[in-house]
Amino acid sequence: MSKIKCIIVDDEPLAISLLESYVQEIPFLELVFSTENPIEALEFIQNNESDLVFLDIQMPELTGINFMKILGDKQKYILTTAYSEYALEGYEHNIVDYLLKPISFERFYKSALRAQERFTFNENREESHFFVKSSGQQHRINFEDIFYVESIKDYVNIKTSEQEYIVLDTLKSMEQQLSEISFVRIHKSFIINLNQIKSFDSKKVILFSDQEIPIGESYRNNFLTKLK
């Protein structure tokens, strides 16, 4: 995989300097632009190649949330914020992760790994498999072998016909990655493979693994639509 081209947008010069130093320490990241002005960042993105934005939410000229609304899915984002209450709103957009200030290098590196896994997945989407990092190793997982993906705090459990893989990621992130193929979220804690459904009713799905997965009320209509 080629390097991930990064942009840093933050109205605090010290925050930019810190993130710049972190990016330079990670070999699969490449810093292509940084600015205190989100308008300049929008212009740069429109005219240059980039992949990932480290984006501050609280900025005077333009908030990070509005920044993402303008760009849509043209970029992926890692939010940087001093206010944890903004995290849930941010996950409505194309978010890889969010970093709560002050940001340690360890936490930044974990976030960068999430981004790397997301981009690797997208590169392999046209194929029949993808790779995930679990227990310190990269594992190949065939889409057709996945029964379900379950949320476990800051991790997800990918259950396959062979074994389970505990991966540092969010269910929202996995949903964004898998929704374009034969997967659908049917509960706040579960994404299932439509091709692994043995039977279902209005309250639950039974998979060929004999796992019973509940259907959340707010997810039922989307599930039925996807089946059609």
Q: Which of 60, 57, 117 is nearest to 81 (CA)?
A: 57
Residue 139 backbone phi and psi in degrees, to 5: -120, 135
Structural tokens at position 44: 């740069």
β-pairing, 155-160 vs 146-152, is antiparallel
Which band of pLDDT confidence, cut at 50, 70 and 90, is reported for residue 89? very low
Task: Give the pLDDT confidence score for residue 14 in this predicted structure.
Answer: 96
Q: What distance in Å separates the CA atoms of residue 117 and residue 121, rounded to the nearest whole number?
A: 6
Task: Give the pLDDT confidence score for residue 181 in this predicted structure.
Answer: 76
Task: Give the pLDDT confidence score for residue 151 in this predicted structure.
Answer: 94
Task: Give the pLDDT confidence score for residue 161 in this predicted structure.
Answer: 85
Q: How far is CA 20 from CA 80, 108, 113, 204, in A?
A: 13, 11, 17, 48
